[in-house]
C-alpha cells in the first residue's frame, strides 16, 4: 500500500499513533538503563524485545484519525479499575514464566519498577503512567496528519453536569493532541 489512513477509537487511537512514531530509546529506558544487546537471553527473545521497544514509523501511513483517545491518560485507570481488569484479564502463564526467567537470569539489569508487572492495557492508561509520557515525547512522523474527534458533554444536561469537559470517559484535555 502506498498510502494509508488509520482510524482508532480510545485505545485504538493510541495504537494508531504508535504506528507513526520513532521510539528511539524512550520506551526501553522505562524498564532498563542497560543496552538491550547486553541482556542474557536467547537471540529470539532479544529480537522480540527489540521489535517491542524499538520501532520506526510505518511509511505507508499518511493520516491518523482518533476518536476519544486518552493521549494524556484516563482517570478511569485507577487502583479499582486496574485491580478489576487483572481479575478478568490474564496474561498467558507461558509469558509470565518467560518474563520471570528473564528477570532471574539478569539480576540488576531491569529497573525495580512495576512496569514489568503490567498485565492489562488499563494499567498503562493512568495519567501518571510513564508509558503515556514516553508516547508524548517520542518523535512522530512529519509526513502524517493527525485528526482528533473529541466529545464534550453539554454541562447543562444531566450527564454533562457530572462529566462536563469530557465525553463521559475521556476528558477533552486528555483527548487533545498537541500539533
pLDDT means per 10 residues in the chain (179 residues)? 88 93 93 93 91 94 94 76 68 78 91 70 76 90 94 68 66 82
> What gap in Å lies between CA 52 and CA 99, rounded to an integer?
14
Structural contact between residues 99 and 42, judged by C-beta atoms closer than 8 angstroms? no
pLDDT at 88: 72
Give the DSSP H/E element, type plus range, for residue 6.
strand 4-9
Structural contact between residues 25 and 50, judged by C-beta atoms closer than 8 angstroms? no
pLDDT at 63: 96
pLDDT at 163: 59
pLDDT at 18: 94
pLDDT at 116: 73
Amino acid at each position: 500500500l502506498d498510502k494509508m489512513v488509520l482510524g482508532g477509537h480510545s485505545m485504538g487511537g493510541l495504537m494508531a499513533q504508535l504506528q507513526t512514531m520513532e521510539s528511539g530509546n524512550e520506551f526501553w529506558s522505562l524498564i532498563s538503563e542497560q543496552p538491550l544487546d547486553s541482556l542474557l537471553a536467547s537471540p529470539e527473545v532479544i529480537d522480540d524485545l527489540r521489535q517491542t521497544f524499538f520501532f520506526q514509523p510505518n511509511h505507508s501511513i499518511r493520516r491518523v484519525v482518533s476518536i476519544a483517545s486518552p493521549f494524556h491518560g484516563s482517570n478511569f485507570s485507577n487502583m479499582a479499575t486496574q485491580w478489576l481488569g487483572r481479575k478478568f484479564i490474564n496474561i498467558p502463564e507461558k509469558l509470565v514464566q518467560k518474563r520471570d526467567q528473564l528477570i532471574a537470569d539478569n539480576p540488576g539489569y531491569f529497573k525495580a519498577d512495576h512496569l514489568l508487572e503490567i498485565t492489562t492495557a488499563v494499567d498503562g492508561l493512568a495519567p501518571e503512567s510513564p508509558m503515556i509520557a514516553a508516547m508524548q515525547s517520542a518523535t512522530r512522523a512529519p509526513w502524517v496528519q493527525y485528526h482528533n474527534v473529541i466529545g464534550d458533554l453539554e454541562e447543562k444536561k444531566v450527564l454533562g453536569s457530572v462529566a462536563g469537559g469530557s465525553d463521559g470517559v475521556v476528558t477533552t484535555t486528555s483527548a487533545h493532541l498537541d500539533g
